[in-house]
Amino acid sequence: SGFKPYAQAMFTNYNALQELAATPAAGSTGFTVPVTNPFLPQQARDLLATRANPTADFSFSKRFNDLGGRTGYNNHDVWQLLAGAKGDISDAWRYDVYYSYGRSVQTEIQGGNVRRDRTQTLLNAADGGASLCEGGLNLFGSAPISQECIDYISLEAKNLTVLEQNIVEGVINGDLYQLPAGMLAVALGASYRDISFDFKPDSGLQPGLVAGFNQQLPISGDQNFKDVFAEVSVPLLSGLPLIQQMTFTGGYRQTDSSATGKDDTYKLTLDWAMVDWMRFRGGFQHAVRSPTIGELYSPQVNNFPTFTNQDPCNTTGSIAATYRNGPNGAQVQALCAAQSAVAGGANYVQPFGQATAITGGNPDLDTEKADSWTAGLVFNSPWDGTYSSNLSATLDYWSIELEDVIAAVGATDIVQRCYNRDNANPTYNINNSWCQLFNREPSNGGVVDLQQLSQNQSFINTSGIDFTLNWGIPVSDRWGDLAFQWVVTWVEKYETQTTNVDPVFDYVGTIGSTTGSSTPEYKTNLTVTWNIDALQVQAVGRYIDSMKHANTITGGSPVSNTGVDSVYYVDLSAKYDITENLSVRATINNLFDEDPQLYSPNVQANTDPSLYDVLGRRFFMGVNFRL
């Protein structure tokens, strides 16, 4: 047929509730308290009176446990529409043209935020705020805060995020020319894609107003991409000894981005069937990734990256042996003192485990670029035996070189390079570029105003091997059959370099402080499926290798930077077809209730929830009905 229209419409709604620890207020988000505060204990008054200026306000940090945890309720609506047509242009040529529209609307309601302005008002009040809310605000003891005061200092925030995407694409493909080894086929196409993003935060999340969730500023923007592309499949040889069929495939795409301009991508692959049971596959690809709207245009706001026991000015702990008590300790101490009298003190210990950072977009970002190589073998059993005919395996080596990586430099890297880590500041000069990326809080010496904007960094080089084995065997006519699938990934290297003057570190076998920064050397899945008539039972075993902390690769102590042990997970599921149109299913995830691996330092959760199961054993049941 020359015209076959098609259409698809989908709507999805899902909700999620997150909860973090109670609101902390420390450093730049902390408070000042006058010595006249009526709730100040006498012991504290006596201590404050020994200062050079006994009547001066003092800094105060607090976690607001009385308000409970910080909660975020997310409601997400997603609409997707697709309409198009395809058909035959001639006996040898076909076309496919479509339009796609997608819209995502996410609303978030935040609870547990603390208004800094109202809290400060209560702390400054001569009566401790009793005239503004019941009992006033006593943050210095174990007495509970009244509900009226909780309501007075709390702020519920509502945020709205809208994302829209339009795509128009057309492709024609067909047979171009008959070669001795087969038909030369081509595909040609063009597409247009635009994306718009609009984030409207609650006005209460404006900078400096609340402590709790990070401050938020509005962000909106759009990008569009115009693409032209072509692909050709060329049969090279066939019907020769050890060459049943050899086919070359080449592809080219030019992308014109409204943000970064034009980029070319391409691929060159070879598929070589040697015999019926053995095939080689491999090739080279050059790809790019354009920066997202958020990476380009997001506003600069506060963030709190993990920085536990990593401050070179510390006078205790394992970090002190490297810096304050190391061979260049006098220079380190002098630089600490130049930045902050408190940080340069003889007994300085960093006041909290997170730095106060500034994160945000960078409109000058360029595209990331990747070159990847693959080479592998595909094996299919040449035997006809009952237990050997359904046997297959694949073995692939891969290597990926990623340049101009879009990322922000870690807090630990920035601060420690100011103190000559990686030979980044050999003269211990306070005007060094790394030292200029942060300040210190005068009252406690903690790291604040840490500049962590996205930038195009140097490179990531990674390589490894993927192996799969599939085997199906009959049990009996009565007891059905079994199928096994074993998948193994081995990572040979994961090398990174921040800038072209930095050292290269290999992070294979490590887990980092941020979510999604783990690189186990080995990961494997074993799936066993039993089919008997209308019943299917499946067990999936997952193995994740042990890892040391990524900070130990850059000189951190394994005592204060702990790793994780290897872990196994088992998931069990079953499905029973009652009729051709009706089936029931049940699942048990994490059958043996394996706990997540804990390690330190880590952001918030003390684990990596993108890698480890943090929910424990859980059960699901469902019914599938098809008309």
28: confidence class by pLDDT, cuts 50, 70, 90: low
369: confidence class by pLDDT, cuts 50, 70, 90: very high
Q: What is the CA radius of gyration of the chain?
A: 30
What confidence tens digit (pLDDT) does each residue in 138-147 have?
A: 988 778 899 9
What confidence tens digit (pLDDT) does each residue in 233-257 have?
A: 999 999 999 999 999 999 999 999 9
The sign one gets for the Cα dihedral 411, 412, 413, 417 is positive
Q: What are phi and psi of 89, to 5 degrees?
A: -85, -40
> Which residues of 438-517 form beta strands (DSSP E)?
439-440, 447-448, 450-453, 455-456, 459-476, 480-497, 505-506, 510-511
Is residue 550 within 8 A of residue 513, CB to CB? The reply is: yes
The pTM assigned to this predicted structure is 0.79
31: confidence class by pLDDT, cuts 50, 70, 90: confident
Q: What are phi and psi of 335, to 5 degrees?
A: -70, -40
Say which amino acid occupies 485.
Answer: Q
445: closest CA among 362, 333, 367? 333
224: closest CA among 194, 254, 197, 253? 194
The two structure tokens encoding residue 404: 């101009």
Give the pLDDT score at 604. 62
What confidence tens digit (pLDDT) does each residue in 167-209 have?
A: 999 999 999 999 999 999 999 999 999 999 998 988 888 766 8
The sign one gets for the Cα dihedral 622, 623, 626, 627 is negative
The two structure tokens encoding residue 268: 């060159």
What confidence tens digit (pLDDT) does each residue in 479-501 have?
A: 899 999 999 999 999 999 887 76
CA of residue 407 relative to chain centroid, distance? 11
For residues 112 and 241, what is the distance between their CA atoms, to the nearest angstrom? Answer: 72
